[in-house]
Amino acid sequence: MTNIIRRLWVPLMALMAITGMGQMPIFKRYYIADIPGLAWLGQPFTVHWVHYIGAAVLMFIIAWFVTLWVAKQPKLTTSGILRIILLALLVVTGYVRVMKNLPDVHFSPMITMLIDWSHLLFAMLLGIAAVWCVRTGRKAYIEE
Amino acid sequence: MKKSPKKNSSPNTPISRRTFLKVFGAAGATACASSVHPAEAQNSAPKEELMTVLDISKCIGCGECVTACTESNAHKYPTVRKPIPKMFPPRVKVEDWSDKKDVDDRLTPYNWLFIQTAEVEHNGEAHEINIPRRCLHCTNPPCANLCPWGAARKEDTGVVRIHEDICLGGAKCRTVCPWHIPQRQSGAGLYLDLLPRFAGNGTMLKCDRCYDKIAQGEQPACITACPENVQRIGKRSEMIAYAKELAAATNGYIYGLEENGGTNTIYVSPVPFDKLNNAIDKGKGKPHLAPVENSMANEETLTSALIAAPIAGVAAGVLKVLSDARKEKNND
């Protein structure tokens, strides 16, 4: 099962990146949603729901790996630690935003804006870090 | 009540590129500092949200509220820089109301309140009902929840507001609003300083329930200007009780209590709202009066999945660790 989860990681992160970008109304504007099969990317609520569902699957996977890591505590690589920190910040800001979307819970306008922007910022930084790791051969999170 | 740092900002002061980048840079640090608390957690004695009740049997359609709204909020209207940039791709249309500021028979960026008239028959009696229409200020507004940029927000007073200095004019708020109430003015706002042709398209505007007057302890302009006392504003619980009493006393009907999960604007009418909805003009800038399901219901359900998922992940991980340990022991 661990191998299946590993294979799920990249497609899932890609889905989260796409649906995250899709929170901005750009896919309809730039004809992406006109491509057959991608019309859902132009529907704000659908993109939002898919982002939530993807986040739930992602949280299952993260919790799975964290539990395995706690059990054996293998040494992490520096690039792995960097990506884990960015991912943790992304997850925290994501959960805060989910909380804000509940009825009877709201934050001040400034905090709402900062959460939105920091979630976007951490996603971009994680994407950059992931690409950098692939290009420099630092793909592993755990030292062999 | 929690303080809102932007409440007293000048609405027409454009955010500079430097300020924008500074705030963007500070965003991550602020989030890391975990300084986020729900509104109620920040104040031991939170005030209730404010709700308005409109007894539309009283409205004579004089338009005093519309005029008062325009005059009172004129300083919030956007200053348009012309020529307005041509958008890319061409399917993105410029929406310019700056030369049509006098339009008052629909919602526009310069007209946040208008009056719809419905002639209907009910219980053998003819009624002419006038309905002041504006943003309903949902209790869990999809415009604020789905705005990716934080420009649309709900404040502690229950006001749902679009911050004109931050808004890029993508109009997602209008798309997800069940009544499509926010309206766009191109050629104004932050997008002009970012990527004027390629991202954004202006700024979105709608009723902000005179948030600045409310902050000063005053009432919204449309309420004070009304000669017939159509509207009443107060604490949500008190206004709900008042609306229900009014509806019971007049054999009336209520709109807004359940719509979109509840709004902070309630209409009480002597005529059922399905009849009113059939009788009014509907279309761009002219919201309907049909029943509305809770737009955020699925998000509320999916939140449970987001809480359960990591718990399930830990449980599955523990089972895997135990299984591996058992296999290792058997191999020994």
CA distance A65 to B182: 44
Angle of the A78-100 helix axis to the B297-331 helix axis, nearest 10: 140
Q: Are B100 and B116 a contacting pair, CB within 8 Å?
A: no
* Torsion B163-B168-B172-B178 (CA) sign: positive
Nearest to B310 among A63, A105, A120 (CB): A63
Query: How big is chain B by its Cα radius of gyration, in Å?
Result: 24
For residue A113, which residues of chain B lie inside 8 Å, CB to CB?
A: 23, 27, 149-151, 153, 163, 166
Strand B160-162 to B152-154 pairing: antiparallel
Q: At B46, is the pLDDT very low, low, confident or very high (cuts 50, 70, 90)?
A: low
- The alpha carbon of A33 is separated from its chain's Cα centroid by a whole number of angstroms, namely 21
pLDDT score of B27 more than 50? no
Q: What is the pLDDT of residue A97?
A: 95
Provide Rg for chain A, Cα atoms: 17
Answer left, alpha or beta for residue A37, where phi above 0 means left and psi between -120 and 50 means alpha.
Answer: left
The yes-or-no verdict on residue B43 having pLDDT over 90 is: no
Which residues, 6 or more positions from B98, have their beta carbon under 8 angstroms from its beta carbon? B80, B82, B110, B185, B187
Residues with Cβ within 8 Å of residue B293, at least 6 apart in sequence: B260
pLDDT, tens digit (0-9, with 9 covering 90-100), for B254-281: 999 999 999 999 999 999 999 999 999 9
- Return the SS3 of A73: coil
- How many angstroms separate the CA atoms of B332 and B326, rounded? 10
Average pLDDT over residues A104-125: 90
B75-98 pLDDT per residue, tens: 999 999 999 999 999 999 999 999
Residue B40 in this model has a pLDDT that exceeds 70: no
Judge whether residue B28 has pLDDT over 50.
no
Q: Among candidates A143, A44, A42, A126, which has minimal Cα distance to A90?
A: A126
Residue B271: both structure tokens together: 């005529």
**Neighbouring residues of B201: CB distance < 8 A, sequence distance ≥ 6:** B87, B92, B94, B95, B168, B169, B170, B171, B184, B186, B191
Q: Which residues contact B77 (CB under 8 A, 6 or more apart)?
A: B101, B109, B110, B205
Give me the pLDDT at residue A1, please.
67
Mean of pLDDT values over B180-209: 96
Q: In angstroms, rounded to a whole number, what is the distance separating the alpha carbons of residues A70 and B329?
A: 20
- Going by the DSSP 8-state scheme, the letter that residue B263 receives in this structure is B
Type of residue numbered B159:
V
Cβ-nearest to A67 among B30, B145, B321: B321
> Residue B145: its chain A contacts at CB < 8 A?
100-101
CB contact under 8 A, A118 and B151: no
Q: Which residues of B touch A62 (CB under 8 A)?
A: 310, 313
B32 near A CB under 8 A: yes
State the CB neighbour count (10 A cutoff) for residue B202: 31
Cβ-Cβ contacts under 8 Å, A46 against chain B: none
Beta carbons of A117 and B37 less than 8 Å apart: no
Task: Look up residue B233 and give its two tokens.
Answer: 């504003």
Whether B1 shows a pLDDT value over 80: the answer reads no
Contacts of B310 (CB under 8 A, 6+ apart): A59, A60, A62, A63
Contact B78, B12 (CB under 8 A): yes
Percent of chain B with pLDDT over 70: 86
pLDDT band at B297 (very low <50, low <70, confident <90, very high): very high
| Closest Cα in chain A to B36 | A111
For all residues of chain B together, what is the average pLDDT? 88
Rounded CA separation B162/A109 (Å): 10
Residue in A29, A105, A114 nearest the CB of B30: A114
pTM for this model (two decimals): 0.87
Residue the block writes with tokens 């709204």:
B69
List of chain A residues whose C-beta atoms are within 8 Å of the C-beta of residue B156: 106
CA distances from B150 to A110, A120, B28, B35 (A): 8, 11, 15, 17
Residues 59-78 of B with CB under 8 A from A: none
Q: Are strands B231-235 and B160-162 parallel, antiparallel or unpaired?
A: unpaired
User: B306 vs A56: CB contact, 8 Å cut-off?
Assistant: yes
Is B293 part of the contact surface with chain A (CB cutoff 8 Å)? Answer: no
